[in-house]
Homo-oligomer: A and B are copies of this chain.
Amino acid sequence: MNTTKTDISTLGEFGLIKHLTQSIKLENSSSIKGIGDDCAVLSYPDKQVLITSDILMEGVHFDLTYCPLKHLGYKAAMVNFSDVYAMNGYPRQLVVNIAVDRRFSVEDIESIYSGIRLACEQHHVDLVGGDTSSSLTGLVISPTCIGEGDKESIVYRNGAKDTDLICVSGNLGAAYMGLQLLEQEKAVYNQQVKEGKKDLAFQPDFTGKEYILERQLKPEARRDIVETLKKANILPTAMMDISDGLSSELMHICESSKTGCLIYEERIPLDYQTAAMAEHLNMNVITCALNGGEDYELLFTVNLADYDSIKNLEDIRIIGRITKPELGCKLETRDGQEFELKAQGWNPLKTQESAEI
């Protein structure tokens, strides 16, 4: 948190909102009226409107010990944009509700907003509203994103068909490895505090691990992939973003589309740092890639006829194919064995026990 501390009550709710939002300019023609009335007013005469919303809770979704407030704001916006891209649409407006307890100063909220606004600028999204409240304990951020898509090109989860190719963007498991790294450093720090060495300047060494750290703290929504597919004239048959892990999301697509799937271990895209960190922690890197979550890459299926168009597209990897429903959801390992995929995806309702320790 910031060193200068202005008490929020000096501004009040309306003053604070004014302070945070007065310099906002609306960029999109669909944004008719932004902050400052009972509702924001939007206009979508020729498009369908996409709505997605999240709630991020301190201690459950993020840990302020190692997550800077600006990054948190950035991530909160980005994960919502990612959901809109996952429908093959474009995010246009964002509403962010924030509740803070009294650890937070005006400058802290400015930091959160600066991250939100940076994400908005990068994705040409207008910040059009939001509620600000106090909280008895803990920070809460609840963003809602409004986007648009053409009726004919919005991609749902339920359109995958037998023989479709399964593709993912980027690489997987990196965000989860970044989280493990941060948790490890936090444990070291806490141990030092416990041993009374807390006045030692704590300097974790992240050299060579910058990439996995960034994937955890500053995820990027894959607008570029949506644009790449459009340019290549490829309309996915089904699409999701990977927030809970590849296995979990793929099973959602198969369940919605009433299909099975087969993916190949050797095709799962991994970054070197992800593999190195997994090795260091004695974890199976494929398990991390399958179940890690928070990658915010796009998982999609395309018609087999699109094979030639998609096979050489940058940063997209074909990892398997859709099968008949009776074949289930399978992973074929490097040595030719087949395993049932399991959704061990991160579940924010099951982490209470561990989160409360």
Interface residues, chain A, with chain B CB atoms under 8 Å away: 8-9, 12-13, 16, 32-33, 36-46, 48-61, 83-84, 86-87, 89, 93, 95, 97-99, 101-102, 128-138, 140, 142, 144, 146-147, 149, 151, 154, 156-157, 239-241, 256, 347-352, 355-356
Contacts and interface: CB of A to CB of B under 8 A. Distances in A.
A57 B89 contact: no
14 contacts: A13-B348, A38-B157, A41-B50, A42-B51, A53-B95, A53-B131, A54-B131, A59-B136, A60-B133, A95-B144, A134-B349, A136-B356, A140-B140, A142-B142
B55 A131 contact: yes
Given A133-B61, A240-B38, A356-B136, A49 B54 contact: no
Contacts of A355: 134, 136
Given A97-B142, A140-B140, A57 B135 contact: yes
Across the A-B interface, the 5 shortest Cβ-Cβ residue pairs: A55-B97, A39-B50, A142-B142, A38-B86, A42-B49
Nearest to A44: B44
Given A39-B51, A39-B147, 7 more contacts: A9-B349, A37-B156, A39-B87, A55-B97, A133-B348, A134-B355, A136-B356
Contacts of A89: 39
B41 A48 contact: yes
Contacts of A147: 39
Q: For A9, A44, A134, which residue has the most chain B Cβ atoms within 10 angstroms?
A: A134
Contacts of A131: 53-55, 142
A101 to B, nearest CB: 8
Contacts of A140: 55, 57, 99, 140, 142
A40 B32 contact: no
Nearest to A154: B41
A99 B41 CA distance: 28
A39 B84 contact: yes
Given A38-B241, A55-B142, A137 B134 contact: no
A47 to B, nearest CB: 9
Nearest to A46: B45
A356 B84 CA distance: 38
A57 B134 contact: yes
Given A12-B347, A12-B349, A33-B156, A136 B49 contact: no
